[in-house]
Structure 1
Amino acid sequence: MPGFVGAVQIMNIGSSGVFNIGDVFQIIPNASVKTFAGAGSFNTGETLSIRNEQSSTNTFDMDGVDQGNFLNF
């Protein structure tokens, strides 16, 4: 059902975000990312005790192209 929209101020939209005003049939935001992180990088909690004596993250990627995100519905 159509409606009237007043003034709209957009401050920020992320890289995989969608902004829509009006009628829409289907919205499919799609994004892909490759993340490299060392040992203990994504730990969360109140009292963590993490000990990494020697840690290294291998970011060497032998393949030239990764799988695309097209046709991922």
Structure 2
Amino acid sequence: MPAIVGAVKVINVGGSGVFNIGDVFTISPDSAVKTFAGAGSFNTGDFIKVRSNYSSTNTYDEDIADSNIYPIR
């Protein structure tokens, strides 16, 4: 079924974002990220108390690739 679309103004589409108008069978954005953080890094909320006398983040990774993404083009 065809789509009928009026005026569209796109300000920004992110690096791994997808913008589509009309009929589509598959939308498959691709993205991979790896995050390293120390003790207490992702705590959120009110009145958080974190005590970390010693924090060490191991960033050694012997893999060549962690997430192999092959986009369909």
**TM-score > 0.5 by shorter chain:** yes
- Separation in structure 1 between the aligned mates of residue 58 and residue 15 of structure 2, nearest angstrom: 26
In the alignment, which residue of structure 1 is the partner of 2:39?
39
Structure 2 stretches lacking a partner, 5+ long: none
Runs of 4+ in 1 over 3 A off after TM superposition: none
The count of corresponding residues between Structure 1 and Structure 2 is 71
- Separation in structure 2 between the aligned mates of residue 64 and residue 35 of structure 1, nearest angstrom: 16
C-alpha displacement of 1:33 = 1.0
Q: Alpha-carbon deviations, 1:6-40, whole Å to 9, x = none?
A: 33221222232210011111212232111111111
In the alignment, which residue of structure 2 is the partner of 1:28?
28
The normalised TM-score by structure 2 is: 0.74
What is the Cα-based RMSD across aligned positions, in Å?
A: 2.0
Equivalent pairs: percent with the same residue?
Answer: 59
Matched letter for residue 39 of structure 2: A
